């Protein structure tokens, strides 16, 4: 069962232009594919050549035809300059943007399978990929996406492209390749698809794949107990906030959380326990990739945000941090957020967001940044429901996370014993905490 609801956490909790060619690509002199026998096509858009190389290896492995998606108006260096408000930045900020493609695949009807490749720009596929998908009748075609990126997963980029396709398209799970991917990595991926040398249509039919459930950003999955972020990463829907915990308490509570199956831990520079949180994670037997760690930069760190990010990594002894938030609005918050964006590009941080930002602050802040926050973390509980703020934030494709869901600030006992909540407890045979968190 899935539904859109405010995200809540226990105690205090509820990408990038990758690979842009320095020189604009020249349109192909022969943009159509004239093979009459091959039914596999590798279509790709590439700026630096990274995606082009991956596409070439896929074509070699599968014997597919290749088609480069080339913009009618080539991108210049100025267009592709990062964080400057240039053409690429503007297109990625506008979901309706559809750059015109030079040329076409004139015999698209012959292809049963399309490998679709692109770099990740601001956590999504370049808008020209949307132009490509909307230019053809791809009914009954199988599409296998692949992307190139320093750190962002293929996640929501593929999901959003799938939404552009007809219901009869078979959309398979995609693959991300980093800039240092080798040909053997591509070969291993192709082998994992069990792609035979015989007719691809027979291969697709023989797979008997279950219908793939496409997740939307912000949608809860109560089976996996996760929510999908717009960065492409999945985050546990409940976790442990470490505000006011001593180092010794962090060790005990985090160990108990992980043993009970919890996987989200929230800390902050101002909590003074980042090192203890990192130590508890390293001391556990749970694989690092299963744990989702959130920390925050305080306003007094905004002036040296780059160093503060590195300091957090060093304190916790982690190779990366799953999410960093700006703890409160403050002087220099835009510049600090741009430093977080660069940390995403550098692979130091997977997702970024904000804490204690409301409608007025968001309306002023968001136009000044490039990567849409994956999360906004605010105080949310039955006595502070934020019924105007939550829908606004969710409408932007941002997940809402609540701190102090059980009241906090001296109101926990009052909230747990609330007359209305107690009546629900009595009617359903659950605890007050369960009622509040659901």
- CA dist 113 and 146 (Å) reads 13
CB atoms closer than 10 angstroms to residue 106: 10
Q: Report residue 365: phi and psi, to 5°.
A: -80, -50
**How far is residue 417 from each of residues 10, 327, 420, 423, measured CA to CA in Å?**
18, 30, 9, 10
Closest to 93 in 3D by CA, of 377, 419, 371: 371
C-alpha span between 292 and 270 (Å, rounded): 19
Work out whether the CA dihedral 209, 148, 219, 131 comes out positive or negative.
negative
Which residues are CB-contacts of 388 (< 8 A; sequence separation ≥ 6)? 359
Is 243 annotated as catalytic? no
CB 131 within 8 A of CB 98: yes
Sign of the CA dihedral running 184, 191, 18, 102: positive
Catalytic residue among 75, 271, 337, 404: 271
- Residues with catalytic function: 271
């Amino acid at each position: 069962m899935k539904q859109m609801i405010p995200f809540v956490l226990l105690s205090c909790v509820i990408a990038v232009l990758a690979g842009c060619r320095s020189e604009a690509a020249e349109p192909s002199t022969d943009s159509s594919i004239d093979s009459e026998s091959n039914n596999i096509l590798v279509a790709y858009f590439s700026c630096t050549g990274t995606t082009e190389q991956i596409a070439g290896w896929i074509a070699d492995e599968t014997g597919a035809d290749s088609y480069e998606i080339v913009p009618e108006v080539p991108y210049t260096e100025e267009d592709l300059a990062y964080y400057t408000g240039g053409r690429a930045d503007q297109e990625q900020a506008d979901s309706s943007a559809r750059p015109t493609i030079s040329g076409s695949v004139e015999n698209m009807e012959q292809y049963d399978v399309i490998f679709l490749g692109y770099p990740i720009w601001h956590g999504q596929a370049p808008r020209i990929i949307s132009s490509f998908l909307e230019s053809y009748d791809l009914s009954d075609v199988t599409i296998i996406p692949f992307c190139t990126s320093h750190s962002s997963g293929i996640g929501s980029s593929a999901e959003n492209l799938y939404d552009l396709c007809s219901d009869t398209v078979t959309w398979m799970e995609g693959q991300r390749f980093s800039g240092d991917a080798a040909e053997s990595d591509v070969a291993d991926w192709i082998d994992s698809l069990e792609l035979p040398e015989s007719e691809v249509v027979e291969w697709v039919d023989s797979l008997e794949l279950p219908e793939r459930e496409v997740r939307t950003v912000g949608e809860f999955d109560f089976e996996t107990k996760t929510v999908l972020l717009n960065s492409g990463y999945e985050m546990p829907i409940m976790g442990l906030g470490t505000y006011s915990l001593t180092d010794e308490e962090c060790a005990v509570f985090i160990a108990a959380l992980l043993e009970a199956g919890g996987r989200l831990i929230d800390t902050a520079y101002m909590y003074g326990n980042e090192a203890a949180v990192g130590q508890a994670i390293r001391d556990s037997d749970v694989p690092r990739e299963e744990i989702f760690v959130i920390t925050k930069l305080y306003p007094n760190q905004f002036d040296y945000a780059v160093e503060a990010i590195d300091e957090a990594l060093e304190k916790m002894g982690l190779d990366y941090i799953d999410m960093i938030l700006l703890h409160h609005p403050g002087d220099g918050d835009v510049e600090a957020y741009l430093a977080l964006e660069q940390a995403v590009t550098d692979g130091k941080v997977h997702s970024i967001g904000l804490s204690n930002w409301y409608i007025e602050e968001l309306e002023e802040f968001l136009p000044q940044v490039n990567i849409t926050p994956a999360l906004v973390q605010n105080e949310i509980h039955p006595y502070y429901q934020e019924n105007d703020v939550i829908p606004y934030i969710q409408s932007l494709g941002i997940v809402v996370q609540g701190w102090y869901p059980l009241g906090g600030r001296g109101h926990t006992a009052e909230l747990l014993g609330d007359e209305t909540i107690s009546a629900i407890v009595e009617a359903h045979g659950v605890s007050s905490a369960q009622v509040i968190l659901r």
